[in-house]
Amino acid sequence: MFGLAKEKSLVGLDIGSYSVKAVELKIKEKNESVQYEVQKIGYEPLPHDAIVEGTIIDSTAVSETIKLLFDNAKITNKDVAISISGNSVIIKKISLPSMDPQELAESIIWEAKHNIPYPYEETNVDYAVLKSPRTPEGNVDILLVAAKKDKIANYSNAISMARKNLVAIEVDIFSLINAFEVNYPEIFKEKTVAIINMGANITNVGIVERGVPQLFRDLSLGGYFFTENIRKELNVSFEEAEAALKGIPGKNINADQFAAVLTMNIRDLLDEMEKTFSFYEAGEKRDRRIEQILLSGGLALIPNMVSAFELKFRIKTELFNPFKMIKYDEKKFDSIYFNEMAPVFGVAVGLSTRKAEK
């Protein structure tokens, strides 16, 4: 999105509210297949409140963390792709009559002005054709994406301060779907899958129906929501609550009380997911059913999250592995990235599967 071409390798840089992740891939095209291999990978936590609800509050802290990550991971490529999400990003699926490209572009501008809750002049707009019509008289399914210019400037500034070259801006859930397609090609083409990225502040939900994205939603629910509720209910510090959420109980944490609060928060998250799933399954005049759930992001790693989804929805659920079909040198990299922390790198891997213009 937003002017991305495909030729030269770049670094997928996922700037989350809790941490910054980076992945650089070597991409080989052989016949009709594409092979990927990890060249560089890195992870650095951010200072608390450097980014709040998807907005960079402390640009210096973010840029310094990016520079530290690149230094520690020995990443020399300065060309990066980033992604954004949240209230400043609007994704709409629309249907338009078949028309030539120029007419379509003009129609998209009209649709954007009438479908985006912000002044058109304050946004950057892009679109992708999801499904072409079977007949000349048929409709074209379009994915319309708009992001507020001040949101883009907010992130562009931090990248510039870190002395990196911003090549492209994606949307979090699209990046995750890129990684999904690369790593689960058969499931991607043959099943209807909900892929859910549970971050610190925002949870991205995407539903892909046999290779075609159908529904997107960003929820203002994430790890910080859990941590803050634990802090309040158990009367402990933010740091103690955060450690408990990671499975490191403190001396001031009552195990039974913690379990009760965690269960309550997971239930709230699942209730929101149920609304999203129901909205999708009720749409259009045909039967729709989600066949599999993939969980990504830091919050996906907490104990019982996968089993809670399976118990609630009776749907096969597993942690998303963005390195499932991607090679890496086990002697060169710490295996923790590809095993314990793998679901955290979904967005960064999706970004790094893109290529930059030569």
Taking alpha carbons only, the member of 46, 41, 39, 36 closest to residue 70 is 41
238 vs 358, more confident: 238
**What's residue 68's pLDDT?**
98
State the pLDDT at residue 133: 52
On whether the CB atoms of residues 324 and 347 are closer than 8 A, the answer is no
Return the closest-CA partner of residue 239 out of 25, 48, 1, 19: 48
CA 11 to chain centre: 16
8 Å CB contact between 208 and 195: yes
Sequence letter at residue 158: A
**Residue in 17, 62, 18, 14 with CA at minimum distance from that of residue 42:** 14
More confident residue, 249 or 145: 145
The pLDDT score that the predictor gives to residue 96 is 87
- 358: confidence class by pLDDT, cuts 50, 70, 90: very low
List pLDDT tens digits, range 160-212.
999 999 999 999 999 999 999 999 999 999 999 999 999 999 999 999 999 99
From 39-48, 98-107, 116-125, 152-161, the region with the lowest mean pLDDT: 98-107
Which of 319, 339, 318, 344 is CA-nearest to residue 328? 339
Residue 2: pLDDT band with limits 50, 70, 90: very low
Report pTM: 0.91
Q: What's the pLDDT tens digit per position in 300-320?
A: 999 889 999 999 999 999 999
Residue 290, pLDDT > 90, answer yes
Confidence of residue 95 (pLDDT cuts 50, 70, 90): confident
CA distances from 73 to 44, 181, 333, 338, 357 (A): 10, 26, 10, 15, 24
pLDDT confidence of residue 137 = 60
